[in-house]
């Protein structure tokens, strides 16, 4: 528990939220700045800055809950699909430093855009692939 973390405060019941799911490891609630109706956040109850600092047990609990919650969100808002996103680090758009995942329901012509495609040479791709493999 981090006393300065807004998500820890939500989990502790110190800040009201529109909770849609809770179990012993995970809580899910509607995003207060939604990209689409039904936009839901899933957070592990144990505080960690981001998914790279989270332990595998907590991440597994989030993934298990995410499957159940994503299906329920889609059904509730009649979504045609959804994006499942974790922003990790400020440059990626993370503003709350407690591991969390977004379920963003998607609808035909909803105006949300995916990232732009950026090409790089096959030689660069092979070099990046090799660096990733070395780093694992």
Q: How far apart are CA 69 and CA 80, in angstroms?
A: 15
Q: Is the pTM of this model over 0.85?
A: yes
Q: How far apart are CA 16 and CA 66, in angstroms?
A: 21
Catalytic site includes residue 100: yes
Domains and CATH numbers, the chain: 6-135 (3.30.428.10)
pLDDT (tens place) for every residue of the chain, 136 residues total: 888 999 999 999 999 999 999 999 999 999 999 999 999 999 999 999 999 999 999 999 999 999 999 999 999 999 999 999 999 999 999 999 999 999 999 999 999 988 889 999 999 999 999 999 999 9
Greatest pairwise CA separation for the chain in angstroms: 53
Catalytic residue among 39, 47, 98, 100: 100
102: tokens are: 């977004």
φ and ψ at residue 20, rounded to 5 degrees: -115, -15
Q: Are 69 and 40 within 8 A, CB to CB?
A: yes
């Amino acid at each position: 528990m981090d006393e300065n973390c807004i998500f820890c405060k939500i989990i502790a019941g110190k800040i009201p939220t529109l909770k849609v799911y809770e179990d012993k490891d995970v809580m899910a609630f509607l995003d207060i700045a939604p990209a689409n109706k039904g936009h839901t956040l899933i957070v592990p109850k144990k505080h960690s800055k981001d998914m790279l600092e989270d332990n595998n047990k907590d991440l597994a609990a989030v993934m298990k809950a995410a499957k159940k919650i994503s299906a329920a969100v889609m059904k509730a808002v009649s979504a045609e699909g959804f994006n499942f996103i974790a922003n990790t680090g400020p440059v990626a758009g993370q503003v709350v430093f407690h591991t969390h995942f977004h379920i963003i329901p998607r609808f035909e012509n909803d105006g949300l855009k995916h990232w732009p495609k950026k090409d790089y040479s096959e030689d660069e791709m092979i070099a990046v692939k090799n660096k990733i493999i070395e780093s694992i």
